Amino acid sequence: METLDPQPQNTHRTGQLAVAVGALVVAAVLAYGATDISSDSGYAGVGPNFLPWVISVALGLCGVMLLWEVWRGGYRNMPEPSGAARGDWRSLAWVSAGVLLNAALITTIGFILSCSLCFVLAVRGLRASEGKPAGGAQQTLKDCVIGIVISAPVFWLFTKVLAVNLPGITASGWI
């Protein structure tokens, strides 16, 4: 007589364990970092280290619950992952280049242009990851305009309304 296993073997338990342990490690690193922050009470009796402690405790709790699930048999009734069997490294390179160039150029060409460049490169990578054409000169120009239309109001909101100093390319503070 054949016996049926009520909990089918989950082939993804190693990855699930890695996520649980990763959450616990990040929580521990955040808690360690929170020890270096002053605990002097500020407004409403809460010091600047309060939020890092809350986040590290919450993330640690999530890590413990994830670990508990892995020990109890893994995430049951989880659908198989969708997408390609392998990562699209070319698309990742486009998105990574956008983020890294943004960080490298923000003080040189200003917030608006560096964020627009990040947008253009990231969109190109995301299009390629979907198997769509990355775009020619006309699409790249359209992406530049969209990037400027998105980043300029963000720059103005932060610099003019919130008085946050972001790098610009003129002394007027508008570009």
> Which tens digit of pLDDT belongs to each residue from 85-104?
778 899 999 999 999 999 99
Percent of the chain whose predicted confidence (pLDDT) is above 70:
85
Model pLDDT, residue 4: 47
Picking from 98, 24, 36, 29, the residue whose alpha carbon sits closest to that of residue 62 is: 24
pLDDT digits (tens), the chain, 175 positions? 444 445 445 456 888 899 999 999 999 999 999 888 877 766 666 777 888 899 999 999 999 999 999 998 887 777 777 767 778 899 999 999 999 999 999 988 989 999 999 999 999 999 988 888 877 899 999 999 999 999 999 998 888 887 788 777 666 555 6
Residues 6+ apart with CB under 8 A from 90: 125, 128
Model pLDDT, residue 93: 95
**pTM summary value:** 0.57
59 touches 51 (CB < 8 A)? no
The CA distances from residue 16 to 7, 65, 165, in Å, are 16, 12, 41
Picking from 75, 121, 126, 76, the residue whose alpha carbon sits closest to that of residue 97 is: 121
Q: pLDDT by residue (tens digit) across 147-173?
A: 999 999 999 888 888 778 877 766 655
